[in-house]
Structure 1
Amino acid sequence: MTKPAYHRILLKLSGEVLIGQQGFGVDPVAAARIASEIHEVHEMGVETAVVVGGGNFVRGVAASAHGIDRVVGDHMGMLATIINSLALQDALEKCGSQTRVVTAIEVREIAEPFIRRRAIRHLEKGRVVILAGGTGNPYFSTDTAAALRAMEIRAEVILKATKVDGIYEADPNIDPSAKMLERISHHDVLSRRLA
């Protein structure tokens, strides 16, 4: 077996990857497929943390566009990430992975609170750590949470999995003629407002 390129990773999953063929919520088949792939990487000895979004249920920004207070919408999104984290935990454990769901908001009956040192210890003990609840603060995306948690747990890399296969010059879901960019610097992403 070849040595993995990284010892500790943070995988950022879009909530939409859990939709599968259903169009909404969590498709158990999609969750099982994703869990199987994570389990395979974890079995190679890679310490694995996962941040999963909640967009398959609700997005705070979208909810606020429909008249829901932005903070309330973001709190709804945080709860959606917990639902997704529990679904992923169930699927991972069916694959044989030991897991812990840790969350930025208090729901002690179903998940541990995020405590940096404890999360690192879970990784060191060979558990997949699923980081739920975003940052615990409104106005911050789960992408921001992924960057924050990656720094806190000292992940070597953030790997992002979404329903799109790269960075485009425009939203390919809105503009079918949008071209995928083969290479782009962080400066170009910011200057072209692609984030």
Structure 2
Amino acid sequence: MKKKLIPILLFILAFTGFLSTQILWDNFNSNAELVEEDKQKHSVYETNFQTLKLTTSKNTTIELKKDPSPIILLNFWASWCIPCLKEFPSLVQFQEKYKGKVKVIGINGDDADSAEHIRKTESKYHLNFESVEDPRSHISEMFQIRTYPVSIVYHKGRVIYVNKKLHNFMDKDFLDMIDKQLGQ
């Protein structure tokens, strides 16, 4: 009876080994595709940085490539986006901590009454950075933004960080990365 089980066990082990190898290979290829996709998006983000000229809700004109701030953070948000609103307190602290060294620019994606939504949100959350109206999603489409919030951090025009979910801007690792870039 035991001798009859040996071929079955060998088959199960071989099959399990084959499946494990296939899963690892697929995972490796999937990760490689994601890295390539990220590189392509970063290229788009960097091209947009070179050409984008924004007018904020306070009528300030900002041409990203000419801005003297070594680090610029674009934060795509909307007033109806709960995660966006939840991250504002840490973003305000972040902007306060790096005032004069980092420029935060909000890109508001509300499609109706965006100026009013920006004004109310700035007041309620004491935003210490300016926002740009994007009611027809022109800017969001340029950056291939499909959901909110999204933050793109540039150092001298190069993408150094992208976050596509709720983010704590006072996170130690994030702050260490910013400090390292500012030290260069």
The alignment's TM-score, normalised by the length of structure 2, stands at 0.32
Higher strand share: 2
Q: Pick the structure with greater CA Rg.
A: 2
